[in-house]
Structure 1
Amino acid sequence: MSISLFSFLMSVMFSTVFILGIHVLRNRPFFLKSFEVHTLLTLYGLCLFRMVVVIELPFTIPVGLRGAFSRVYDRVRQFQMPVGKEDIELTAFLCCIWAVVAGVLFTRFIWRDHAVKKELALCHRNENKDAERALSKAMAVSSRKLPVNVCVCGSIDIPMGLGLFHKWIYLPDEKFAKEELYYIMMHEYTHFCNRDGVVKLLTMLFCCVFWWNPAVYILKKDVSQILEIKCDVYATQSFTKKERLEYLLTILRVLKGNPAPGNSPSPLTATGLISRTKGDNTKERFELIMKAANQVKWKYQAILLSCSMVLLVLSYSFVLQPAFDPPVEDIFTDESTVEWDSEDVYILQHSDMTYSLVLGNGEKCPISDPVLQFYIDAGTTIRKE
């Protein structure tokens, strides 16, 4: 196994194609309704795996490309960037930029998340007894029992859940009916049970590292929406039709609420009942909750995942790289070097059991036993004197 620039480029190319392909399918309602969010999350997981694991396996076949690809690579390889008193290769310079920007984005992500969490921590003493009772009710119907706290925070305008180890549900400083509080608690508690915060964290870190690839931002948006749909499906799976309608009305109630003036930005790893981000596809969530999906049989899901795994393996089967013709001056070094065609060459066996290589121009060159075996293995014919 080995890692090279070309194996990395292949990894980026295939993972980008996979992400774009899943994005196109994901925007078709029949696909999401048929194959469920679990299948989509698995497919995106394969995309992340392909982008991160950039090795060349023993069966990987190098495919040489000539023409423009080789010329561009040769120009890039030879280009030198002046840095101070030294000149460094362009590829090394780009890698430095990649690392610096990724470091800045990671630091900014950590700082912002810490600052918002610190501000939200000031609200931990703001109790809401009705919300606590609603949370207890939601925990009672769940198969998992997690330590979760709830509080009211005036600087937010939508309910949200936050925390990987110390889990909190934050409510805006608004008056909610008891039924609404129950559906809000059920939604956020289901997010914790599904470990959606961990998935969002890993997605954010992935975007920090591969910030230069536009496909990762498509993946980030899709994963966020899929997590919300998955949470809706789990939270409402035992609801009656009336309860589903009340659940959706609660989402509408929060969505139509007025944004809090001067509200703090939400932590990037937080899960919320809704999002006020432009382009948030709330309509899709409503349709999937109210209308039961036409599930295909598990074998079709298995076929889809199997085909995806086959494509993943095939993506490791070859690697594209530039191919160059060796310069003629490196082949014919002096007048004693003779060019010959293997079809015009044969081995002559002498009566004393010695051998000579006969070239196309009739010239005979004595050869030793090891060299003889080499030409025999290459398929050169043997003639007796």
Structure 2
Amino acid sequence: MILSFSSFLAAFAAANVMVLFLAILLRSKSPLSRFGLNVLLLFTAFIGIRMLFPLEFFYTITFPSKVALPFLFSWLFERPFSLPGGISVYLYQILLTVWISGTLCFLFQIISGHRKLQRLIRFLPTLNSTQVSMILKAVQRERNDNTQVRIVQTPHIATPALTGFIRPVILLPDLAFEDEELRYILTHELDHYYRHDLLWKLCFEILSAVYWWNPLMWILKKELSALTELKADDTVIENLDAEKRIAYLECLTRIHKHQVQQFQSSNLLLTFSNARLDSLLYRAYYIIDDRKKRHGFGLIIICSMLLLLSTLFIFESYSISPTAEEESMKIIPEKCYFIKLDDNLYDFYSGDVYLGNVSNPYRDNFKDYPIYTKENEVLR
């Protein structure tokens, strides 16, 4: 396995194509967006892994690039810029500095936002509600789970949310909920915890921080969030009839109407409702459409082929090694000519450099070069 600038470009291009393909699937409202959520989540993970490990493998086929990549390499690595004080820097050094600085800035925002959230939760009292405790135990009993889950209620958030990688904390907004609504909310949030969605979110927050300059990586993070919410919705509505699905959707809609962001939320927070109207409409379409789900075997094949193709080809900048260049002769076509010898052979020259002899200078490869005699008479 080799890490190089060319392998990075290949992984970058392939991942962008796969992100666009994923976005089309999720926005098409076709059967492809209706089944195979696990497959789509796996495909999303493949994209993330491809971007985190942009390597060239032993089976990768290399194609030379004689124009685009040499031009790019020349600008990045071979043309220094002069700065005051006699300092010379290359373009790749400038871009790398900006890249690393931006990554550190976004990572700092993620960490500081998470710490702010944890400080807020630490000082909030645990919700002491018999209603909530009974429903929580009933939901956990269905999953044969006895994890200690802390529930807090605060006016500082506008939608139920989950945080905590090891010790889960469910946050509830300062609203009155009916028993059925609480069952929907707690089932949804605990499903996030059981499937380790916070770890997924953390990985893709880091990925988007590393590739902050690529807008498609932010789209990928958004699509991951949409997939995890659809998967949690799927768990809630799994055994619900049409009437209760409508009730669940009404719960989502009520929280959406109430959702006005009141503080800078952490990036490591999984919310029950999204403030975007298009997200709510898409989830509504998914919840109401109760057609039987299929297995997504065709989608598995497509995703696997895209992943394989992303590692199969790579373009390398065409160049001649210094050793080969020293041992080779440079031919300048404008200065090439032949000199006719007595034994029907022709010496071939490029300027004053003798390159060898040929027996037929009238072939297509040589038709543009003049022919002279030893006395400098022109034969062609």
Question: How far has the Cα of 1:100 moved from its partner?
Answer: 1.7
1:305 lines up with 2:300 in the alignment: yes
- Structure 1 unaligned spans of 5+: 345-385
User: In the alignment, which residue of structure 2 is the partner of 1:78?
Assistant: 78
The amino acid that maps onto 2:120 is E
Matches for 1:1-385 after TM superposition, within 5 Å: 1-82=1-82, 85=85, 86-257=87-258, 259=260, 263-276=262-275, 278-296=276-294, 298=295, 301-324=296-319, 331-332=328-329, 338-339=355-356
Conservation of the 8 A alpha-carbon contact between 2:39 and 2:300:
yes
Q: 1:57 to 1:326 in 2, by over 3 A?
A: closer
Tell me the SS of whatever aligns to 1:62. Answer: strand
User: In the alignment, which residue of structure 2 is the partner of 1:381?
Assistant: none
- Percent identity between matched residues is 22
The amino acid that maps onto 1:332 is M
The amino acid that maps onto 2:329 is F
Question: How far has the Cα of 1:339 moved from its partner?
Answer: 4.2
Q: Distance in 1 between matches of 2:272 and 2:325?
A: 71
User: In the alignment, which residue of structure 1 is the partner of 2:342?
Assistant: none
Q: How many residues align?
A: 338
Calculate the aligned-residue CA RMSD, in Å. Answer: 2.8
Listed one character per residue, the Cα deviations across residues 263-306 of structure 1 (whole Å, up to 9, x for unaligned) are 22222121122111x3541122122222213433x3xx233323
TM-score, normalisation: structure 1:
0.79
Listed one character per residue, the Cα deviations across residues 179-237 of structure 1 (whole Å, up to 9, x for unaligned) are 22222212211221121111111111111111111111111111111111110101221
- Structure 2 unaligned spans of 5+: 331-350, 362-380
Q: Distance in 2 between matches of 1:340 and 1:34?
A: 71
Conservation of the 8 A alpha-carbon contact between 2:252 and 2:273:
yes
Tell me the SS of whatever aligns to 1:63. Answer: strand
Conservation of the 8 A alpha-carbon contact between 2:36 and 2:299:
no
Q: Distance in 1 between matches of 2:358 and 2:312?
A: 33
Question: How far has the Cα of 1:19 moved from its partner?
Answer: 0.7
Listed one character per residue, the Cα deviations across residues 326-360 of structure 1 (whole Å, up to 9, x for unaligned) are 9999533896763468999xxxxxxxxxxxxxxxx
Question: How far has the Cα of 1:307 moved from its partner?
Answer: 3.4
The amino acid that maps onto 1:159 is P
User: In the alignment, which residue of structure 1 is the partner of 2:340?
Assistant: none
Tell me the SS of whatever aligns to 1:192. Answer: helix
Question: How far has the Cα of 1:130 moved from its partner?
Answer: 1.9
User: In the alignment, which residue of structure 2 is the partner of 1:360?
Assistant: none
The amino acid that maps onto 2:67 is G
Which segment is superposed worse, 54-63 or 15-24? Answer: 54-63
4+ residue runs of structure 1 moved beyond 6 angstroms? 325-329, 333-336, 340-344
TM-score, normalisation: structure 2:
0.80
Listed one character per residue, the Cα deviations across residues 130-163 of structure 1 (whole Å, up to 9, x for unaligned) are 2222212221222444321112112112111111
Conservation of the 8 A alpha-carbon contact between 1:117 and 1:267:
no
Conservation of the 8 A alpha-carbon contact between 2:56 and 2:311:
yes
